[in-house]
Amino acid sequence: MITTDICIIGAGPVGLFAVFEAGLLKMRCHLIDVLPQVGGQLSEIYPHKPIYDIPGYPTIRAQDLIDNQMKQIEPFSPTFTLGERVEGLEKQEDGSYVVISSEGTHIHCQVVVISGGLGCFEPRKPELANLAQYERKGVDYMVKNPETYRDKKIIIAGGGDSALDWAIYLSDIAKELTLIHRSDSFRGAPDSADKVYELAQKGAINLLLSHNLADVHGTDRLSHVIAINKQKEEISMEADYFIPLFGLTPKLGPIADWGLQIDKNAIEVNTVDYSTNIERIYAIGDINTYPGKLKLILCGYHEAALMAQSAFRFVYPDQKLSFKYTTVNGINTF
């Protein structure tokens, strides 16, 4: 039996920041994640992806952000169970919980924090008849190592942030890059969209708006991607790699059976402290939902901070949360 104050389900960036916020309040954390390493989607799906909306960093590589966060929480000595999926939850007579993993690991905690990102996820795939036969043979659903695409002909499909960010990043690496989107406008950040338009105007990338994917072809490997425009005209493009970036399909897994209020595969929370409808269970990051929700890492950090303040009363029920400051050379310190 592992004993801790807070059991955090999900070791992505938001879960890691929850460790920091809890640590400031002298609460111990144990994290459990189905992936074999910390970092969540950032490490597993796009470790080299540039991130532009972390305060203090004009741009930071996804894996570098995780590495920095691990250094940030070192003083609080969190413990980890990796490569195991959460399967069960048992409430104890005193209100605490025992979290049970797929490998039989038992974690006793006062508070459970669900920070599982999109939960168990898989990429959304375009409906193309021959797509499956070229998976890992030119068709990739995520960019793990950008150097794979150096001096290659790349076709990216999608209109969200991932498609825009990777089109920008890989434009300096690929021999030729084409971005295909079914609409005439993007869903991603306006600044990223502007950069893509600028690259297209300069001839650094090919931009096909209002085009739908029609087919993929090849022999042993992918060789061509077929798109069709509004006039029903087909365009055949040579491709060494085709990267459709249509987001992820979330699945909560066993968490869906815990009695939590769920809306479209996301857990409903109270924005006062990001608590769920079940006492001592919180949900932070992309896995939760509430009016005005934005799926940004930055928002998850905010949610983690408020969660920790609320969780304190369950870990230390006889103490009031208060801060005492000492002024040293005009600077307030704890």
Task: Kindly report which listed range (41-55, 69-83, 136-150, 194-208) carries the lowest average pLDDT score.
Answer: 41-55
Report the alpha-carbon distance of residue 124 to residue 101 in Å, rounded: 27
Provide the token pair at 78.
């969190």
Please indicate whether residue 269 or residue 250 has the higher confidence score (pLDDT): 269
Question: What tokens appear for 126 in the block?
Answer: 């375009």
Q: List the structure tokens of 286.
A: 């992309």
Region of poorest pLDDT, from 16-25, 119-128, 310-319: 119-128
pLDDT computed for residue 116 by the predictor: 79
Q: What is the DSSP letter of 254?
A: G
Going by pLDDT thresholds of 50, 70 and 90, the confidence category of residue 267 is very high
Could you tell me if 283 and 162 are in contact, meaning their C-beta atoms sit under 8 angstroms apart? no
User: Do the beta carbons of residue 228 and residue 236 sit within 8 Å?
Assistant: no
Tokens of 36: 């074999």
CB neighbour class for 84 (10 Å; exposed up to 12, middle 13-18, buried from 19): middle
Cα 149 to Cα 282: distance, rounded to the nearest angstrom: 41
Strand order in the sheet with 266-268: 262-263, 266-268, 288-289
Place of tokens 């994640």: 33
The pLDDT, as a whole number, for residue 332 is 47
The percent of residues above 70 in pLDDT, for the chain, comes to 93
DSSP 57: B
Write the CB contacts of 278 (distance below 8 Å, at least 6 apart in sequence). Answer: 258, 259, 260
φ/ψ of residue 256, rounded to 5: -65, -15
Task: Read off the DSSP letter of residue 318.
Answer: T
Report d(CA 281, CA 114) in Å as an integer. Answer: 7
In one-letter notation, the amino acid at residue 138 is G
pLDDT score recorded for residue 333? 47
Q: Which of 75-79, 83-87, 293-297 has the highest mean pLDDT?
A: 75-79
CA–CA separation, 222 and 134 (whole Å): 6
Pairing of strands 86-91, 97-101: antiparallel
Position 301 scores a pLDDT of: 97
Burial level of 247, CB count in 10 A (0-12/13-18/19+)? middle
Mean pLDDT within 233-260: 87
Note the Cα 133 to chain centre separation in Å. 28
DSSP symbol at 194:
H
Beta-ladder partners of 183: none
Q: How far apart are CA 159 and CA 62, in angstroms?
A: 20
Strands 281-283 and 111-114: parallel
pLDDT, averaged across the chain: 90
CA distance 275 to 273: 5
- How many Å apart are CA 196 and CA 268, to the nearest integer? 35
Rounded-to-integer distance, Cα 68 and Cα 12, Å: 12
